[in-house]
């Protein structure tokens, strides 16, 4: 009987160890992603600039409005009203420039253009 109990504890200890290692790996991955994103010189440049809402609106109309239409519910991309309540400026910069979520294309605006676009999006 003691042997069965010891085997049960051994199995439980292994399971706890596996769960802890998985949590550590996930935590380090999230932290690494945060550090990498935080060290992005492009984002630092953009966030240091003052954006122009009118220029941002023009950039939005040319590059974004086809999929993120503000007038109708029929969109390829999500609605962007109150986007700053759901995403940080850094997250929006990454979203716009990475092209990681197809069908959204990779878009590489200049730092000033991105600052202008952020200014426009912040007032939606």
The percentage of residues in the chain with a pLDDT greater than 70, rounded to a whole number, is: 84
Domain 41-124 coded CATH 1.10.760.10: yes
Instruction: Tell me the pTM.
Output: 0.68
Band of pLDDT at residue 118, cut at 50, 70 and 90: very high
Alpha-carbon torsion, ordered 73, 75, 81, 85, to 10 deg: 120
Tens-digit pLDDT profile for residues 9-31: 777 788 787 888 888 888 777 77
Question: What CA–CA distance (Å, rounded) separates 40 from 35?
Answer: 9
Q: Taking the domains of the chain in order of start, what are their residue ranges?
A: 1-39, 41-124
DSSP secondary structure code for residue 28 in this structure: H
Question: In whole angstroms, what is the distance from residue 87 CA to residue 84 CA?
Answer: 5
Q: Residue 77 belongs to what H/E stretch?
A: none
pLDDT band at 60 (very low <50, low <70, confident <90, very high): very high
pLDDT in tens, 65-84: 888 877 766 678 888 889 99
């Amino acid at each position: 009987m003691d042997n069965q109990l010891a085997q049960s504890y051994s199995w439980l200890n292994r399971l706890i160890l596996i769960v802890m290692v998985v949590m550590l790996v996930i935590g380090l991955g999230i932290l690494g992603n945060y550090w990498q994103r935080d060290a992005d010189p492009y984002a630092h440049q953009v966030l240091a600039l003052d954006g122009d809402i009118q220029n941002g609106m023009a950039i939005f109309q040319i590059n974004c409005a086809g999929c993120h239409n503000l007038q109708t519910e029929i969109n390829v991309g999500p609605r962007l009203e109150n986007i700053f309540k759901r995403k940080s400026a850094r997250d929006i910069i990454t979203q716009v420039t990475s092209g990681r979520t197809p069908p959204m294309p990779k878009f590489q605006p200049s730092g000033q253009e991105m600052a202008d676009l952020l200014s426009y999006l912040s007032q939606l």
